[in-house]
Structure 1
Amino acid sequence: MIDALRMAFGTLTVVPVPAPRVIDRKVAAGAMLLAPVAAAPLAAAAVLVVLACSAVRVPALACAGLALAAIALGSRGLHLDGLADTADGLGASYDRDRALEVMRRGDSGPTGVATLVLTLIVQCGALTGAVLAGHGEAAIAVAVLAGRGVLPLCCARGVPSARPDGLGATVAGSVRLPFAVLVPVVLAGVSTLAPGLPWWRGPVAVGVAFAAAGVLLFRCARRLGGITGDVLGGCVEAGVTAALLAMAPG
């Protein structure tokens, strides 16, 4: 458990933690299951930004941008980078090896940049709507936790790795399916308590987040032959974006 927590916090956040003593399949599975726990400091930071902006009457759009920037800084931009690389790989070629090579290089091409910019615009717009509606803090908290909560699904048994090495190979297929299903159920239950939201909106946002991540996961598994670390990041951002959209209306 300690090694799993260290791996989760060390991989997903900038929180300084000692390196895991060992990283094996059990530790990798635990780290993915604990991803929403590791995301709690990011959610808390974003909530504080929204509250502070509201207190000093910062415009809603600027408030949304600052909250999303806090999350990006707190996660080293890891998932945004993964989203851009995944988009570049999917848009590069129908040849699997060529697509994986483009993703491995890590330099963002036009497809990745366009995807990243459009995704951030949508996230900012959706969060702005939630802030104007008076539930920006709840929306960003639920979205951050739901976005990281999709990771066990992406690493469930039966989901292969696209490469023999890298983060994807370490965590692919490591999570037992019942535990992968349990995570969204727990998140949906907790989200019913989100302040300022009708009890049903949080669970709907969680469900939409998992659906969006599942679509991207399915596409990448068919196109690339499995997951990579970049695909995991892309699924996280897909989940966050979908959850924010589900909570944008007043």
Structure 2
Amino acid sequence: MKTDLAARLRDDLCSALSLLTRLPVPAHAFRGAAGAWAWALVGALVGGFGAAAGALAAWAGAGPGPAAAAALAAMALTTGGLHEDGLADTADGLLGGRDRDRRLEIMKDSRIGSYGALALMLVTLAQWSALAAASAPALIAAAALSRAPMAAVMAALPPARATGLSAGTGRPTAGTALAACALALLIALALCGTKALVAAAAILVLTTLLARVAQSRIGGQTGDILGASQQIAMAAALPLLA
């Protein structure tokens, strides 16, 4: 029984790593959304890479701005820009399409439009400016907290299309999504104290707004919507934790 539980937890963690990062992982049974509880752990790991890159840049003599840029670059390289791509596609689709089918078509298109470029620039700028004043624990906490909305939105909304990353991953149960949020909050509380509660509240408000817009405009969620939720949550959490 213990062996089965350990194997399942290992598969959950490996599935989370293979889904959300470009890091090599050992062979495992892909658990999809069932491993969503571990997404906060993956976020903390990604944030740790970012914090290490920022610290290395600062040690080499870079100022706060270049160090923050190094941290953002390290995190984007670790995830393959997965969430940034989702943010850009979400902005292009939700703001630029005439109807549901056209919005989904735009979001599937790999090309970036003006709305996507503007959203990516503004959100990245918000993260960069906050990172210039953030500590390593704040960055790791924000990275963990920002993965919770993905599980919550996935559990709350059906897939907007029958194919794609989100549909292929499946939907976490309400219990799994709650566990993901609870674990993310525990990590943030341990690292940043009660400021984590304020950051979590801000993330909840913004995630709810994004989910409502997605439900109204495309009838559910996609991988791009989930990526956008992570990027927006990160931008909201960093200045509140810094």
**Structure-1-length-normalised TM-score:** 0.86
Note closer, same or farther for the CA distance 1:19–1:155 as it changes in structure 2 (3 Å cut). farther
Q: Which amino acid aligns with 1:241?
A: A
- Of 41, 49, 63, the residue aligned with 2:45 is 41
* Deviation for aligned residue 1:234: 0.6
Q: Does 1:52 align with 2:56?
A: yes
> Residue 175 of structure 1 is aligned with which of 172, 176, 181?
172
Alpha-carbon deviation of 1:20?
Answer: 4.7
**Structure 1: gaps (5+ residues):** 131-135
- 1:80 equivalent to 2:81? Answer no
Indicate conservation of the 8 Å contact 1:84/1:112, yes or no: yes
Q: 2:241 is aligned with what amino acid?
A: M
Task: String of CA shifts for 1:163-202, please: whole Å, max 9, x gaps.
Answer: 0111121345x222233233323322332221xx4x2112
Q: 1:191 to 1:39 in 2, by over 3 A?
A: closer
2:115 matches 1:111: yes
Q: Which residue of 2 aligns with 1:151?
A: 150
In structure 1, what is the equivalent of residue 161 of structure 2? 163
Distance 1:239 1:31, change over 3 A: same
Q: In the alignment, what sits opposite 2:223?
A: 229
* 2:32 corresponds to: 28
Q: Which TM-score applies when normalising by structure 2?
A: 0.89
CA contact (8 A) 1:209 1:241 kept: no
Aligned residue identity for 1:180: A
2:3 matched to which residue of 1? none
Q: CA separation in 2, counterparts of 1:144 and 1:163?
A: 28
Secondary structure at the counterpart of residue 193 of structure 1: helix
Q: Write the letter of the residue equivalent to 1:15.
A: L
Q: Is the 8 A contact 1:8 1:32 kept in 2?
A: yes
The alpha-carbon distance between structure 1 residues 33 and 185, as it changes in their structure 2 partners (threshold 3 A), is closer
Per the alignment, in what secondary structure is the counterpart of residue 132 of structure 2?
helix
Please state how far the C-alpha of 1:89 moved relative to its aligned partner. Answer: 0.1
Q: Partner of 1:61 in structure 2?
A: 65
Question: Helix, strand or coil for the counterpart of 1:34?
Answer: helix
- The number of residues matched between the two structures is 234
Change (3 A) 1:246 1:50: same
The residue that corresponds to 1:15 in the other structure is 23
RMSD: 1.9
Determine if contact 1:33/1:151 at 8 Å carries over to the other structure: no
Summarize the alignment of residues 122-137 of structure 1 with structure 2, pairs less than 5 Å apart: 122-130=126-134, 136-137=135-136
Say whether the 8 Å CA contact 1:152–1:175 is kept in structure 2.
yes
- Which residue of the other structure, out of 74, 86, 90, is the alignment partner of 1:70? 74
Q: What code does the residue aligned with 1:11 have? A: L
Per-residue CA deviation, residues 10-68 of structure 1 (Å, 9 max, x unaligned), is 121111125654x5xxx222232211122333121112123223334421111111101
Distance 1:65 1:102, change over 3 A: same
